[in-house]
Chain A
Amino acid sequence: MARTTPYGGTELSKFITHRVAELKPRKSQAEIASEAGFINPNMLSMIKAGTTKLALDRVTDLARALDTDPARLFRMAMLQSGHETTRPVVEEVFGTLVSRNEVDWLKAIREASGETDPTLTGRARSAIRGIFGK
């Protein structure tokens, strides 16, 4: 018998479940689905439950509706079943997928290092671990 939730437990289904819950005080799941352009209002429930995957052409609209970074959502969508091998090809052709926050980190690294393209040294790893309490 075929699995009814082939995308259940994926990073994307967990993220959307969490994000919809976070936004609940501001807007309903139905409003998010509508803003994202889903014709079927149950589509978000199906993505959360893992019965369907997020189509790549819905990523930017859903990211906007969820007030989240589209690059991050796109990476998670590619990691869902069927897209695992797509990511390296997409990144090879178009460049590395980075979120706006990651862009800001890279700008900070460039500025702090004087644009020297610093390597990720042990010192740098220690600093990042410390920054995030790891």
Chain B
Amino acid sequence: MTHTPVSIFHPGLEDLTENERAWVGFLRLITQDTDPAPTLARVQALRCVFSDPHSSGEDKVWKVPD
């Protein structure tokens, strides 16, 4: 069986920034380190964070569409 070795550190990415480490750390905390995939619905919800930068979004109800 052939196997192409890949880096397990940051495959396909250059090294992470401090901000990106914070994002990953928070994702692990919230998901209890279950390593969930970014599904289309989740990514669409994530995009909303950056869609209206003038809103704090603190009181917004974020929900992944069914």
Q: In the complex, what residues of B have CB within 8 A of residue A100's CB?
A: 11
How many CB-defined contacts (below 8 Å) exist between A and B? 127
**CB-based contact B37/A101 at 8 Å:** yes
Range class of the B interface residue count: 35 or more
Given B5, B10, B48, B58, which contacts A98 in the complex, CB threshold below 8 Å? B10
Given A94-B9, A95-B9 in contact, is the A114-B20 Cβ separation under 8 Å? no
Binary per-residue interface labels of chain A (106-125) against chain B in the complex, 1 for a CB within 8 Å, 0 otherwise: 11110011100111111111
Taking CB atoms and an 8 Å cut-off, the chain A residues in 38-88 that contact chain B are 60, 64, 69-72, 74
**CB-based contact B37/A109 at 8 Å:** no
**CB-based contact A117/B8 at 8 Å:** no
State how many angstroms separate the Cβ of B62 from the closest Cβ of chain A.
3
